[in-house]
Amino acid sequence: MDPQKRLTLISKHLLSRFPEIPISDTLTSYRKKTSFDSSSLRNLIYGGRSSIVEEMISYMMESQSLFDHYKETHLSIPEYRELILRQILATYGKILSNPSYNKDDINHIMAVLHGMNLYSQSFAARLMVHLILCFGMTELGHGTNVAALETTAVYDHKTRGFILNSPTSTSAKWWIGAMGKTADMAVIFAQLFVEGVNRGVHAFAVRIRNKTTHDPMPGVTVGDCGMKNGLNGIDNGFILFKDYFVPYDALLDRISHISNEGKFKSIIKNNEKRLGIMLLSLMGGRISCIGSTSISMHLSLTIAIRFSATRKQFSSTGVKDTESAVIEYQTQKYRIFPHLAKFFVFISSYHKVKSWALSLKQKILNDPENEEITEIHAILASMKPVGTWYANETIQACREACGGLAYSVYSQFARIRNDQDIQVTWEGDNHVLLQQTARFILKQFQKYFKGIRITVPTLSFMIPDSEKLKELKGSFSSLEDLENIDCLVSMLEYKFNYLLHEAIARIKENAGKYSEISQTWNNSQIFYLQELPKAYIEIFMINTLIEDQEKLDNSETKEMIKWFIQLYALEKIRKDLEIYMVRYLSYEQGKLIKDKIFELCDKIGNFAVDLIDAIAPPDFILSSILAMSDGQIYKHIISTIEKSPETYEKASFLKTINEMRTLAK
């Protein structure tokens, strides 16, 4: 558009064409209801590292020309990708060079990435890709089944190097972040052949583009995978190799190497076990996935709660000619608050596994088969699926709770949902990951029958004896009894053990039907082995929040977090009442659980706005027309829509409209 014309249109919009909007004091009235220690709550959400996150956010607020969700909405994909790179450049210059930032402190790195994620997953994910090169594992034909990757790296002893080839179309590396347009180096996973023998999948650091001209190297074909549902700030690409030579130093040889005599050597002889240990490198990716997932929940719940406290419809009290904020309605509370409980449980567990994994860094290098490493791997392999499903459920529930206005791109729900969606399939397909945790649990169960004591702390509640399990009964008889955290956790533990014995019975049944172990395993998944890891991680997560809640000093905040612990457990139990009703609970107890859920939702409703205020990012970061901290939703909706020069323009396709009118005659 002509610059002068654009300026004229914008100047016209400086004065709204809408009638003046009365100032709403609804959020203010909710804020007057309660008060509590926001610092302890922020420390819980940000893992005690809120200062570096706030510094990151403050910086982005100062750089408004680069960080502006409204402008990003209207950019082409190439423009958006360039903007993301400029944001990264600015971050390097302002934050990563700041004296208060310690590049050797992984907690600082994670905190800054968390701050970036609050603004945009595209921004944070693109920076992570930049820091680790591009990660060439996934192929067009194989994603989850890494052992079956088709790219080959054949060792040539004469040149002391490797020849890389993509022998089939499906061997093309696919969806590789930064490969489409940006990266000149990549870590490539390929089947290593030495003296004609396949030694399994190994990783190679490979130059893919000329550093000076940015042209693909001879023997390398690279391309862009095109537009995606979300995260379009990242240029995902594909790559093919044709007799491409790389020197020996390209092999990442911490576990395996080739001697000067051309013989393959490895500290781990078994190909499958070696690959499993190599894939421990994905642990960091899964932790980052969990962290960014918690942010998607955080942002969605912030928008939904603020909107619900501001939006008025009908009357919840029956008083004529008055309307009530929709947060007063039981239906709205139940649509949102159980998801808020899931968020608190999940974010608390994220900080725990992050710290735990960092403490094991040296142990992973020295003793990758250690039981503690196996345990945290099992936790991440179930926490990532459960958490990413939580997030998708939460985003959709919050979007629906905000009604039709949430369908606007300026509500930010579309961005949050589309960017989050990939989390359920990258860093491991959710359903396949759950099988890894199921195997871990069953191996621990087998120890009992071999006379070996189960020493894994997160499985201390396992009941291998099915007869003992049958003796257990729900021990509550009133709403007050359901405030007992031990009572609630014991019910979740019962569900785990029930599912454990049901899964084992299913496996035994299928073992008589099928000749292959793999068939028995694959046909014991739905309703059995897939549910067992979910029950396991629920217990781990709720216990983590219980630990954090007990450490809180402020009694009011401590009590409120207890409500979320109760609500999380009770909602999980309610959803699985079919299991409990077999022999553990009565109909009357099931009704008490439902009544307690509604009671807790009412309690949380009084605190919800203050709670969200305490943990919400600044308006500039959230950038939702439905959830600005001043509560003036209609003002922000109108001003945002009127900001567009096209709002009051005639249709550019007026000629086609006239043709349609002619046709209608």
Q: For the chain, how are helix, strand and coil distributed in percent, rounded to 5?
A: 60, 10, 30
Instruction: State how far the Cα of 495 lies from the Cα of 512, in Å rounded to an integer.
Output: 26
Residue 251 is classified by DSSP as B
Q: How far apart are CA 247 and CA 235, in angstroms?
A: 27
> In this structure, which amino acid lies at residue 652?
S
The answer on whether 219 is annotated among ligand-binding residues is no
Q: Both ends of the chain: CA-CA distance in Å?
A: 34
CA distance 182 to 498: 51
Half-sphere exposure for 183 (CA within 13 Å, toward CB): 33
404-409 contact pairs (CB < 8 A, 24+): 405/307, 405/625, 405/626, 405/633, 405/637, 406/303, 406/307, 406/626, 408/625, 408/637, 409/73
| CB-CB contact of 33 with 610 (8 Å) | yes
Non-local CB neighbours of 554 within 8 Å, separated by 6+ positions = 36, 37, 40
Query: For residue 634, which of 1, 22, 25, 9 has the smallest C-alpha distance?
Result: 22
Residue closest to 26 by CA, chosen among 267, 382, 252, 325: 325
Annotated binding-site residue? 144: no
Judge whether 240 and 221 are in contact, CB under 8 Å.
yes
Any catalytic annotation for residue 427?
yes
**How far apart are alpha carbons 501 and 645 in whole angstroms?**
64
Given 55, 427, 493, 538, which residue is catalytic? 427
Report helix, strand or coil for 162.
Answer: strand
CA dihedral 432, 433, 436, 437 (to 10 degrees): -130
Give the annotated binding-site residues.
138, 177
Give the annotated binding-site residues for FAD.
138, 177
Residue positions annotated with a catalytic role? 427
